[in-house]
Amino acid sequence: MTDTPPYGLTDEELEELNEYFANNPGPYQFGLDAAHGLLTAVVVAPEPVAASEWLPLLIEDEEGFGDADLANRVLALIVRLYNSVVQELEAFTYQPIYAETDVEEGGTRLSPKGWCEGFAAGIDLRSEIWGTRLGSDPRLIELMDPIIRLSAEEGVLDIDVEDAEETSDEELLPGEQPLHEPPAGEVAETEAQEESGAPEHPLTHMLEPMSEPDYDAALNGVAAAVADIQQYWRDFRPGQDESFADAPKLIRRKRGGQWVH
């Protein structure tokens, strides 16, 4: 990252915040990449999400800080990171923060896993609204295409297409349930539907393993998808039947790697 806008964080400040998360893992073990994904989901959420809801995902309430000066410093950096997401989206300059991981062949590659985990955790904070709309409006699914593909590819979301067709009070988000094979008695019915030309669920094609070019395209498509999602919720606000309801938070996987913007 070279040209840092005035509302953003410098490379040194980003490294400082990343080091804090590494040394003080919160309940979700989030690093800077996941924190950025979480804040992004909060900013583009269908309705406002208070800091009192998302901050506990990043910092332990009782053990997060050793002293007042550290608390003030870290909170100030987190608030500025949040504001940078807001400003970058308005200025059409938003870019996700990905991790950089080593590869067996040598060198490094960008990994969106942490960012996707954070974004998924942000969705969880308004799971009922997201779940209801994803189950009823294919437009939102299409807008989220690169995020869903990368999340599935990285093992962040194990999407169950059958469960995604129906929503219930217990579902956190269509796609948060493990994949499962259909009962043997349903195989013939499924094949018959395919042969008859029955429309497949819009999530089905997103579960297929991606080629390297497709992966890179999805990686580069996240920024535009985030902007489109924000505009979608501005144009199609949630109704009263999609209002927020408390839901348990998911336990996320741990990751390795360093942040890269």
Q: Which domain holds residue 206?
A: 11-260
Q: What is the pLDDT of residue 51?
A: 96
| Non-local CB neighbours of 237 within 8 Å, separated by 6+ positions | 46, 47
User: Do 245 and 132 contact (CB within 8 A), yes or no?
Assistant: no
- By residue count, the chain amounts to 261
User: Do 184 and 227 contact (CB within 8 A), yes or no?
Assistant: no
Closest listed residue to residue 52, CA positions, set 42, 65, 40, 41: 42
Q: How far apart are CA 202 and CA 129, in angstroms?
A: 19
Q: How far apart are CA 250 and CA 125, in angstroms?
A: 10
Q: What is the pLDDT of residue 172?
A: 38
Q: Is residue 2 part of a domain?
A: no
Helix axes 145-153, 113-124, angle to 10 degrees: 110
Q: How far apart are CA 26 and CA 30, in angstroms?
A: 7
Q: Is residue 5 part of a domain?
A: no
Q: What is the pLDDT of residue 106?
A: 77
User: Do 100 and 257 contact (CB within 8 A), yes or no?
Assistant: yes
Q: What is the pLDDT of residue 182?
A: 41
Distance from chain centroid for Cα 84: 17
Number of domains in the chain: 1
Q: Is residue 85 part of a domain?
A: yes
Q: What is the pLDDT of residue 214?
A: 94
Q: Is residue 225 part of a domain?
A: yes
Q: What is the pLDDT of residue 111?
A: 94
Q: Is residue 146 part of a domain?
A: yes
Q: Is residue 1 part of a domain?
A: no
Q: Tell me the pLDDT of the chain (261 aa) as tens digits.
A: 445 545 689 999 999 999 999 998 888 999 999 999 999 999 999 999 999 999 999 998 655 566 888 889 999 999 999 999 999 999 999 999 999 888 877 788 899 999 999 999 999 999 999 999 998 999 999 999 999 999 999 988 755 545 444 433 333 333 343 333 444 544 444 454 445 554 555 566 666 788 999 999 999 999 999 999 999 999 999 987 675 444 333 333 333 444 455
Tokens of 107: 């060198």
Q: What is the pLDDT of residue 63?
A: 59
User: How much is the pTM?
Assistant: 0.77
Q: What is the pLDDT of residue 163?
A: 47
Q: Is residue 124 part of a domain?
A: yes
Between the alpha carbon of residue 123 and those of residues 142, 186, 187, 248, the distances in Å are 16, 32, 33, 12
Q: What is the pLDDT of residue 243?
A: 57
Q: Is residue 4 part of a domain?
A: no
